[in-house]
Amino acid sequence: MKIALLAGDGIGPEIVAQAERVLRFLMADGLKMELESGLLGGCAVDATGEPFPEATRKLVIEADAVLLGAVGGLKYDNLPREKRPEQGLLTIRKTLNLFANLRPVILYPELANASTLKPEIVAGLDILIVRELTGDIYFGQPRGIEQRDGQRVGFNTMIYSESEIRRIAHIAFQAARRRQGKVCSVDKMNVLECTQLWRDIVTETAQTYPDVALTHMLVDNAAMQLVRDPKQFDVIVTGNMFGDILSDEASMLTGSIGMLPSASLNDQNKGLYEPIHGSAPDIAGKNIANPLATILSTAMMLRYSFNQEIAASRIEHAVKKVLKQGYRTADIFESGMKRVGTVEMGDAVLANM
Ligand SMILES: NC(=O)C1=CN([C@@H]2O[C@H](COP(=O)(O)OP(=O)(O)OC[C@H]3O[C@@H](n4cnc5c(N)ncnc54)[C@H](O)[C@@H]3O)[C@@H](O)[C@H]2O)C=CC1
Ligand SMILES: CC(C)CC(=O)C(=O)O
Ligand SMILES: [Mg+2]
């Protein structure tokens, strides 16, 4: 099992270092893995001038799975789009055809008080956000900023083909079959043709899954319902941009954005695994970032890419135990708990493994 480690920028190296310790622990315990590090994002721009250099392209194509920290940072904000760290991330997703982004929103009972909602509203929360990842307005052409009628206009294109919608809908329905059997498709069909097509194709695809209950919701209502009554949702399927926004919102129901892992999969079982958050420049280099989302992403990697259910569960159980023992990074801290830094949280997970 060859794994490419792309730590990236900001807190990326700090959190990936803790996930790497977990992987190395499992290797020492007999799991055969090979780890190789590469550059992506701002650190790659600094070293090579490109956010997704050729050596990284080769590495991720050859690897069986990729573990990513995060990319981006203030210092890169004024670069042209093709040189920006985020473009490296979008390109890696497109290169590997990682169209299915799974973002589980699970509340650990120990963090019920850290949630932004009342404990009784979030107790037992377990939602799966299925976000389409290689289409939509983040990739659509034409795009740009140009002069029109004596002033600059900025424009992007929201575009989805039937086949792109159908394949992500299948992922959502299949996931729902293994869960509560409910899919809520989120769109904005009242004003956007692109998402009218989204609704039509999801509805058509649902006919293959008579055992799954499909509902539709407009995205503005979905944003509100997530904080009103999140437990009404089982699987949410949506496009790239809406999924990006709704998953950051949903993360706070679990206590912190530092708790949500993700898997980005293609149809050949190759996956990229990363926390849903960004490079958090405001806390980088301070040993305060929460590494659990990244550590939980390694569990998703072992499960989805390598079928190593036991090793994956071992990591998830260790995280549960750590929370039960009261270890908390700053983002999930409450009084009476043990405040720890990024490295100490990694120590605690390893101790429980
Ligand atoms: N997958 C990726 O690589 C992503 C990259 N970005 C990039 O990251 C940079 C910063 O973006 P922001 O909008 O600030 O979003 P962000 O997700 O990096 O941070 C938002 C807030 O959450 C906090 N936070 C994030 N992760 C945390 C963790 N593990 N533990 C504790 N607190 C955490 C940050 O300190 C910040 O206050 C930008 O350049 C952006 O483009 C943003 C999202 C995803
Ligand atoms: C570059 C962005 C699209 C990254 C992001 O915010 C995400 O994937 O959640
Ligand atoms: Mg995001």
Active site residue 209: no
Cα–ligand 3 centroid distance for 240 (angstroms): 10
Which pLDDT score is estimated for 269? Answer: 77
CA of 269 to the centre of ligand 1 (A): 27
248 is catalytic: yes
Ligand 2 close to Cβ of residue 274 (< 6 A)? no
Measured in whole angstroms, how far is the alpha carbon of residue 36 from the centre of its chain? 21
Fold match between domain 1-111+257-353 and domain 115-254: yes
115-254 folds as: Isopropylmalate Dehydrogenase (3.40.718)
Determine the average pLDDT of the residues in 266-279.
95
- Written as six digits, the tokens of 242 are 């809406």
Residue 163: its pLDDT value, please? 98
Q: What percent of the chain has pLDDT over 70?
A: 100
pLDDT tier at 11, thresholds 50, 70, 90: very high
CA distances to 202, 272, 302 from 307, rounded to whole Å, are 29, 15, 6
Q: Does domain 1-111+257-353 have CATH number 3.55.40.20?
A: no
Angle at 113 between CA 110 and CA 115, to 5 degrees: 100
List, for residues 286-318, the tens digit of each pLDDT value.
999 999 999 999 999 999 999 999 999 999 999
The overall average pLDDT reported for the chain is 97
User: Residue of the nearest CA to atom 5 in ligand 1?
Assistant: 278
pLDDT in tens, 128-166: 999 999 999 999 999 999 999 999 999 999 999 999 999
The answer to whether the CB of 22 falls within 8 A of the CB of 85 is: no
pTM for the model stands at 0.98
pLDDT at position 297 is 98
Segments making up each domain of the chain, as ranges: 1-111+257-353, 115-254
* Residues 160 and 239: beta-carbon distance below 8 Å: yes
Residue 121: burial class (beta carbons within 10 Å; 0-12, 13-18, 19+)? middle
Instruction: Tell me phi and psi for residue 329, to 5 degrees.
Output: -75, 170
User: How much of the chain, in percent, has pLDDT values that exceed 90?
Assistant: 99
Express each pLDDT in 30-46 by its tens digit.
Answer: 999 999 999 999 999 99
Q: What is the complex's ipTM, to 2 decimals? A: 0.99
93-124 pLDDT tens trace = 999 999 999 999 999 999 999 999 999 999 99
